[in-house]
């Protein structure tokens, strides 16, 4: 079997197009422009790339983008004061603090200081609780993008066996909650799971979010399964830097029914969902 490739790049372009249409309508009918503030502390190169891409795409869909780049030795008090100001700013509907933060800053404290209604990452403890109890929440962007692609590819997910490999707060846990919300039978597997390959082979939906390059090979995949690769790993191969996922694409694609590539799969959907969440935050705030 050769798997269908789920084209996240094309999917994300459609989502951005829909967001841009709705932003234009909000502006024309209500004079409202959604605003997203992104806060970056320090100079982590990967974070700088992500923040740059977020700002560019925010502007492209017609929203206001505000970037706050703070020095690496920013105090917690100064960061909390900035977030308080953004919480109070009526022109800002979404606030994102890029993670990871430098180690002297308490990430939980910082994230939980964001107004939950502006928490477009869905990381605030209130949004985590709302999602976990099946209530209307801001949903983390990466798992939301994965769910959108799964729904588009498979239709109803009810009753399917889903295995999420990885238990992070950003991807694994919210992904599992979303799949449970779709009435999947959900297993969260991780580095301590016994016979991980056998557990994964039970999956109709396999989501890989472990952060280990090409760990999930074709041996882990049930024939015909849908494989979603959340990994973004930079590796050296043949003297070049390459971007690879957590899935060994060639061997998995030979067994799977459908698969997301890296790059061009989940990655573009994450920012598209951030824009969709910012639009949602703006619409909810303004009734």
What CA–CA distance (Å, rounded) separates 205 from 154?
10
Q: Which residue is nearest to ligand GUN (CB)?
A: 99
Structure tokens at 79: 């960061």
Contact between residue 217 and residue 248 where contact means Cβ atoms under 8 Å apart:
yes
Residue 98 annotated in active site: yes
H/E run at residue 259: strand 258-259
Does position 137 interact with ligand GUN (CB under 6 A)? The reply is: no
232 is in an annotated binding site: yes
Contact between residue 61 and residue 119 where contact means Cβ atoms under 8 Å apart:
no
Q: Considering Cα of 157, then 162, then 164, then 165, what sign does the dihedral take?
A: negative
Structure tokens at 261: 């590539």
What CA–CA distance (Å, rounded) separates 167 from 210?
8
259 is in an annotated binding site: no
Does position 58 interact with ligand GUN (CB under 6 A)? The reply is: no
What CA–CA distance (Å, rounded) separates 265 from 257?
15
Contact between residue 165 and residue 209 where contact means Cβ atoms under 8 Å apart:
yes
Q: Which of 115, 121, 229, 248 binds ligand GUN (CB under 6 A)?
A: 121
Q: How far is the CB of 197 from ligand GUN (least distance, A)?
A: 27
Residue 22 annotated in active site: no
**Binding range to ligand GUN, per CB under 6 A, among 82-90, 91-99, 179-187, 246-254:** 91-99
271 is in an annotated binding site: no
Does position 98 interact with ligand GUN (CB under 6 A)? The reply is: yes
Residue 121 annotated in active site: yes
Q: How far is the CB of 167 from ligand GUN (least distance, A)?
A: 16
166 is in an annotated binding site: yes
Pick the catalytic residue from 54, 118, 173, 222: 54
Cα–Cα nearest to 248, from 266, 227, 269, 224: 227
What CA–CA distance (Å, rounded) separates 116 from 123?
9
Q: Which of 170, 203, 244, 275 binds ligand GUN (CB under 6 A)?
A: 170
Q: Is the CB of 141 or the CB of 282 nearer to ligand GUN? A: 141
Structure tokens at 214: 């090409």
Q: How far is the CB of 98 from ligand GUN (least distance, A)?
A: 5
Pick the catalytic residue from 98, 173, 177, 246: 98
Does position 278 interact with ligand GUN (CB under 6 A)? The reply is: no
Does position 96 interact with ligand GUN (CB under 6 A)? The reply is: yes
What CA–CA distance (Å, rounded) separates 204 from 245?
19
What CA–CA distance (Å, rounded) separates 274 from 237?
32
Does position 19 interact with ligand GUN (CB under 6 A)? The reply is: no
Total residues binding ligand GUN (CB under 6 A): 8
Tell me which residues are annotated as active site: 54, 98, 121
Residues binding ligand GUN (CB under 6 A): 96-99, 121, 141-142, 170
Q: List, as residue ranges, the binding site.
A: 166-168, 232
């Amino acid at each position: 079997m050769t798997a269908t490739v789920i084209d996240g790049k094309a999917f994300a372009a459609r989502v951005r197009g829909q967001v841009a249409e709705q932003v234009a309508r909000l502006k024309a009918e209500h004079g409202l422009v959604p605003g997203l503030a992104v806060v970056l502390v320090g100079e982590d190169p990967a974070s700088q790339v992500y923040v740059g891409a977020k700002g560019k795409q925010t502007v492209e869909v017609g929203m206001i983008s505000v970037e706050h780049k703070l020095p690496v030795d920013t105090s917690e008090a100064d960061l909390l004061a900035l977030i308080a100001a953004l919480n109070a700013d009526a022109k800002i509907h979404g606030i994102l603090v890029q993670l990871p933060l430098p180690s002297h800053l308490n990430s939980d404290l910082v994230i939980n200081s964001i107004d939950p209604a502006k928490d477009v990452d869905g990381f605030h403890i209130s949004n985590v609780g709302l999602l976990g109890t099946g209530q209307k929440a801001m949903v983390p962007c990466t798992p939301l993008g994965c769910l959108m692609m799964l729904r588009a590819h498979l239709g109803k997910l009810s009753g399917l066996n889903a295995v999420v490999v990885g238990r992070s707060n950003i991807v694994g846990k919210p992904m599992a909650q979303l799949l449970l919300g779709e009435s999947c039978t959900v297993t969260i597997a991780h580095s301590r799971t016994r016979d991980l390959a056998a557990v994964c082979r039970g999956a109709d939906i396999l989501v890989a979010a472990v952060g280990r390059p090409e760990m999930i090979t074709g041996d882990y995949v049930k024939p015909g399964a849908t494989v979603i690769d959340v990994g973004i790993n930079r590796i050296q191969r043949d003297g070049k830097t390459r971007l690879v996922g957590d899935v060994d694409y060639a061997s998995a694609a030979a067994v799977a029914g459908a698969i997301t590539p890296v790059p061009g799969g989940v990655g573009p959907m994450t920012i598209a969902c951030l824009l969709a969440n910012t639009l949602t935050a703006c619409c909810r705030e303004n009734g």
